Structure 1
């Protein structure tokens, strides 16, 4: 039996508002990343999550470091 990987979950936290750079203040994704999410494969989604983490760190919005990889 083939092992099927579950889709990587969306980082959406239902705080949907764009900042001046068009980055969502809730999930740290840009508009393209948000609209393409459902069509991305898991490799692309993991890449977007790493970008979100970098953005949160750069903006001082990361309160705790994640302990689990995505």
Structure 2
């Protein structure tokens, strides 16, 4: 803030862009979500085949954990496909 005679001039504070939530996590492993979100009786999404707890964990999971979640989802998907034959 500075004053010029009887006039007070305020200067806006420097604005920093907000730090993204969980910015320490690399986007190397993309989400398997396909926007067909429906949970079955076991709380598994019928679109991406992740368990609801895996979906909740996704944003804070590191790449290694994300790969494990994706592998488990793929196994669930293959199991459902085999049962459908």
What TM-score do the two structures reach when normalised by structure 2? 0.63
- Alignment pair present for 1:26 and 2:40: no
Name the Cα RMSD after superposition: 1.5
Which residue does 2:33 correspond to in 1?
12
Structure with the higher strand share, 1 or 2 = 2
State the partner residue of 2:21. Answer: none
Unaligned regions of 5+ residues in structure 2, if any?
1-25
Bigger Rg, structure 1 or 2: 2
After superposition, what is the alpha-carbon deviation per residue over 1:2-56, rounded to whole angstroms, capped at 9, x for unaligned? xxx6431000000001011110000000111001100000000000000011000
Secondary structure in 2 matching 1:45:
helix
Relative CO higher for 1 or 2, CA cutoff 8 Å, sep ≥ 6?
1
The unaligned stretches of length 5 or more in structure 1 are 62-70
**Aligned length in residues:** 57
Question: Runs (4+) of structure 1 moved beyond 6 Å?
Answer: none
